[in-house]
Structure 1
Amino acid sequence: MKLKYRDLIDQTYYFPQDEFDTKGSNLTFHGIEVMDLVNKYGAPLKFTYLPKISENIQKAKNWFREAMEKHDYEATYNYCYCTKSSHFSFVLDEALKNKIHIETSSAYDINIVEILKKEGKLSNKSWILCNGFKRDQYIDNIARLVNGGHKKCIPILDNAEELDLLSENINGKFDIGIRIASEEEPKFEFYTSRLGIGYRDIVPFYKSKVKEDPKASLKMLHFFINTGIRDTAYYWNELHKCLKVYVNLKKICPTLDSLNIGGGFPIKNSLAFEYDYAYIIDEIINQIKVVCQDAGVEVPNIFTEFGSFTVGESGGAVYEVLHQKQQNDREKWNMINSSFITTLPDSWAINKRFVLLSVNRWDDEYERVLLGGLTCDSDDYYNSEQNLNAIYLPKFKKDKPLYIGFFNTGAYQESIGGFGGIQHCLIPTPKHILINRDENGIIFTKVFAEQQSHDNMLRTLGYNVDEENK
């Protein structure tokens, strides 16, 4: 009988996969033996594999290029990274190597753009798309950017009042976009997105307000689906409703020439993950062209905003199993040396799944377990292998340390978890390392941030740490 952890993975999934393999009894990730990272830096440990960011950007660019060539689509494609997925400088530095553009969602994003421009990593040739509900500071920052000469900045209106606010603050003419308030999936708690302007209101709004504005020119229509780009009847139906608005606007608005198909691609959350990116892109380009041809209008330039797809698959987290608790005759709890609530908040807040694999001991027998975090909160657990309602890992043994890895965690987890701030139950943010390759493909690593100290947390909480340490 095959009872080794390796046998379980081989029988359950196609393995090895592009990014996952083993060396001896240890897991490798993009050719990196994860136990080497543990031996060098310890655990818990967060890491970012930077080359994966560029790899995914180039994949998407190639898929769109091939689809546009196939369908003789005579317009441009523009890859934008939405910074809300991860604002870290190392993410932006890697992404911008690929000649991409930026999508922002709040006022301080513009401050990041200005720093990147000062450092020569962004230029006035880069598109800056400004999404989100715009308060005074956001409006002021957008105006400062445009007034400073960045004419390829497109504030995308979330509501009708934003047009007047922008016109009051921006000197001279400027481009705008309009976000469509798409209908949400039937299972959602509400019918229509709180963001954007309704389908039926956009053309009347253009006629009554935008067309009469002496400074603003409508350049872009922004279509966003909260659940992302998926091959479902819901997605294709919403896309066609958006295209109907686009062609109706295009017939009366000659400056409109761009369509932003927001809503990201899914990323791998299991070894069984399947998604035909090339097919979806091909079908999107085909449908846009067919609708525009039938309506007798030119096809739009295409913009996408990929956040999780850009950065998600670059991230990972490694924990040590500290102890096993047998709580009843069925449930064994493996307790990790960190907290899921603080380090993988999406697993707690929205039951998001990540790729979970043992880092070592692949040739040991396995058992069915649940995973618990260090905090005293009953919700600090992970059992998001929802098809099994449990997790299988090598058997816990006190004299044989067990390490587990969560992969494709690079989007949102640090910002939602409050990187560098106050953590639930004061569990510290783990050490974070960056992994890269030099021009010869040789792997090198460096520490981005050490594990959060108690001094750091106590100062944030207002305690006099200097006095406490005397």
Structure 2
Amino acid sequence: MKLHGNMSIKNNTLYIGGVSCVDLANKYSTPLYIFDENLIRENCREYRKYFKVDENSNKVAYAGKAFLTLYMCNLIKEENLCLDVVSGGELYTAHKANFPMENILFHGNNKTIDEIKMGIKLGVGRFVVDNFYELDIIEEICKENNKIQEIYFRITPGIEAHTHDYIKTGQIDSKFGFALINGDLYEAIEKLSKYKHIKLVGLHAHIGSQIFDIQPFIDEVDIMIDLIKEIKEKYNIDLKEIDLGGGIGVYYTKEDKPKTIKEFCEAIINRTEVKCKEIGIKVPTLIIEPGRSISANAGSTLYTIGSIKDIKNVRTYVSVDGGMTDNIRPSLYKAGYECSIVNKMKYEKVNNVTVAGKCCESGDILITHANIMDIESGDILITTSTGAYGYSMASNYNKIPKPAVVMVSNGKANLVCKRQTYDELLELELI
């Protein structure tokens, strides 16, 4: 198992941020999400540095869908990042955390009327508009409130990156955005004259998630820069902002070969400068929206091992006290993870096992083939790189309460989300 960030081994025990994982499991119980706060902050600072936020006035917007809590909102605010939200719930979380609304980008392919009203009322900086329906609603609500709303148009640039089908978004056949190939974007631009309370200031595209190759992002830059020039020449609209979305891949298993934040940012910055010089336009303000690459490797999940079932000549199932309710990605995407036993870190790995969850589903498998040390019931198992789309996609399937979340740094643990109780599980139900 690869050690990330501020992980270390002392006396056969895994520590994160200077805190023993055994102690964390004993104090907070399991399943338990653990976040290396210093690693999150280091990733934020790398993005700001290499994306030239201070030098070029570019912007880095954390994609809240990866992991968003009140504490995370404050952390992102302290690190001077913007925030990308995709729902009323995420927006409300940011609002309650006193996140600056002008630094929020509001995404979503089917924002509800109530969500749009909330965004306009709270004063979000940019709506990333996905369709004609949304344009009409924004105009109507802004007119009622005597406001002008700045927007981006989300486009589908026709780039099909190599990633899982469920997380491809840049190809033409997508539920997201205005397509280029059928003229939808141009029709939307032509209709802008009738919208008196909407101001188009930029374009947005997102080509997918967990992408390791930089070339699709370079292609995206070329398409977006060409569009900026075309729109200026054809419609006399001077767009000064380009949002390239997120999508940089991260390490989950040894098969993954991710680029560094530095490599990713420098490739985009350099290509943008070259492309703008080639076609003779001013370099626009660039925005990127990393989520996974900020939080994924900073997060881990602890479980307590329960039953161990050895089916001779078939496989050994090692069952833990969590599963698809706290990490749906293996069941949804066949996502791979690494694991170890936190109280036996220097033991020889001798067994090939399948790590199974406790849900009443045959597909509730966290890791199909895990080479792991001798284990016994009661051991504490860790899966790493669960900081993105673990807690945010957690569910109460089988009436299982959601786990707690702790942030660790400099030898201290800070509880940022309490474990859900059975009473809290039922508090919205009526007899």
Normalised to the residue count of structure 1, the TM-score between the two structures is: 0.80
Residues 144-163 of structure 1 correspond to what in structure 2 (within 5 A)?
Answer: 144-146=121-123, 153-163=125-135
Q: Does 1:308 align with 2:311?
A: no
- Deviations for 1:392-443, whole angstroms, at most 9, x for unmatched residues? 1111246xx422111221222223223xxxx22233333433324xxxxx42
Task: Report the equivalent of 2:33.
Answer: 46
Which residue is equivalent to 2:100? 122
Residue 135 of structure 1 corresponds to: 112
- Which amino acid is 2:423 matched to? D
CA contact (8 A) 2:59 2:288 kept: yes
Give the secondary-structure state (helix, strand or coil) at the position aligned to 1:392. Answer: strand
Shift of 1:37: 1.7
Contact 1:83 1:103 in 2 (8 A): yes
In the TM superposition, residue 286 of structure 1 has moved relative to its aligned partner by: 1.7
Contact conserved, 1:247 with 1:292, CA < 8 A, in 2?
A: no
Q: Is the 8 A contact 1:203 1:249 kept in 2?
A: no
Letter in 2 for 1:331: R
Give 1:430's aligned residue. 403
Any idea what the Cα deviations from partners look like across 1:302-324, whole Å, max 9, x if unmatched?
Answer: 11112222322332211122232
Counterpart of 2:40, as a letter, is I
1:199 counterpart letter in structure 2: L
Contact 2:328 2:393 in 1 (8 A): yes
Which residue is 1:87 aligned to?
68
Q: Is the 8 A contact 1:130 1:155 kept in 2?
A: yes
8 Å contact from structure 2 (residues 150, 198) kept in 1: yes
Is structure 2 residue 381 aligned with structure 1 residue 404?
yes
Structure showing greater Rg = 1
Residues 167/316 of structure 1: CA separation in 2 closer, same or farther (3 Å cut):
same
**Taking structure 1 as reference, are residues 358 and 50 closer, same or farther at Cα in structure 2, changes over 3 Å only?**
same
Residue from 79, 85, 90 that aligns with 1:109: 90
Check if 1:33 corresponds to 2:24.
no
In 2 relative to 1, CA 431–155 (structure 1 residues): closer, same or farther, beyond 3 Å?
Answer: closer
1:438-464: CA deviations, max 9, x gaps? xxxx4222434454333333444546x
Query: Which residue of 335, 356, 364 corresponds with 1:372?
Result: 356
Residue correspondence of structure 1 range 235-254 to structure 2 within 5 A: 235-251=217-233, 252-254=235-237
Identity over aligned pairs, percent? 20
Mapped contact 2:250–2:293 kept (Cα < 8 A): yes
The answer as to whether partners of 1:84 and 1:105 remain within 8 angstroms in 2 is yes
- Decide whether the 8 Å contact of 2:353 with 2:371 is kept in 1: yes
Rounded to whole Å, the distance in 2 between the matches of 1:269 and 1:291 is: 33
Distance 1:353 1:42 in 2: 25
How has the CA–CA distance of structure 1 residues 79 and 392 changed in structure 2, closer, same or farther, with 3 Å as cutoff? same
1:348 is matched with 331
Asked if the contact 1:173–1:217 (Cα under 8 Å) also holds between the matched residues in 2, the reply is yes
| Alpha-carbon spacing, 1:214–1:372, altered in 2? closer, same or farther (3 Å) | closer
Tell me the equivalent position of 1:22: 9
Residues 5-27 of structure 1 show CA distances to partners (whole Å, capped at 9, x for unaligned) of xxxx6xxxxx7665333112112
**2:425 matched residue in structure 1:** 457
Q: Which residue is equivalent to 2:372?
A: 393
Secondary structure of the structure 2 residue equivalent to 1:208:
helix
Unaligned runs of 5+ in 2: none
CA distance in 1, matches of 2:430, 2:100: 38
C-alpha distance in structure 2 between counterparts of 1:267 and 1:280, whole Å: 12
Q: Distance in 1 between matches of 2:388 and 2:243?
A: 21
Q: Can you list the C-alpha shifts for 1:282-318, whole angstroms capped at 9, x where unaligned?
A: 2211221222222221111011112222322332211
Give the TM-score taking structure 2 as reference length.
0.87
1:172–1:381 distance in 2 versus 1, CA, 3 Å: closer
Letter in 2 for 1:210: L
Amino acid paired to 2:240: D
Which moved further from structure 2: 211-220 or 92-101? Answer: 211-220
User: How far apart, CA to CA, are the structure 1 residues paired with 2:4 and 2:129?
Assistant: 43
**Residue 121 of structure 2: SS of its match in structure 1?**
helix
Seen in structure 2, the aligned counterparts of structure 1 residues 296 and 460 have a Cα distance that, compared at 3 Å, is same
Distance change >3 Å, CA 431–CA 100, structure 1 → 2: closer
Q: Which amino acid aligns with 1:34?
A: C
1:169 matched residue in structure 2: 141
Q: State the match for 2:415 in structure 1.
A: 447
Which amino acid counterpart does residue 186 of structure 2 have in structure 1?
Answer: P
Match of 2:253 in 1: 270
Three-state SS of the structure 1 residue aligned to 2:297 is helix
Which secondary structure does the structure 2 equivalent of 1:343 belong to? coil
Counterpart of 1:260 (choices 239, 243, 249) is 243
Deviation of 1:52 after TM superposition, in Å, equals 2.4
Q: How many pairs does the alignment contain?
A: 417
In structure 2, the residue corresponding to 1:339 is in which secondary structure?
coil
Amino acid paired to 1:426: K
Q: Secondary structure at the match of 2:50?
A: helix
CA distance in 2, matches of 1:233, 1:265: 11
Q: 1:179 aligns with which of 151, 154, 159?
A: 154
Q: Deviations over 1:212-246 (max 9, x none)?
A: 54333221110111235542544433442233222
Alpha-carbon distance between aligned partners in 1 of 2:4 and 2:328, rounded to the nearest angstrom? 27
Shift in CA distance, 16/311, structure 1 to aligned 2, threshold 3 Å = closer
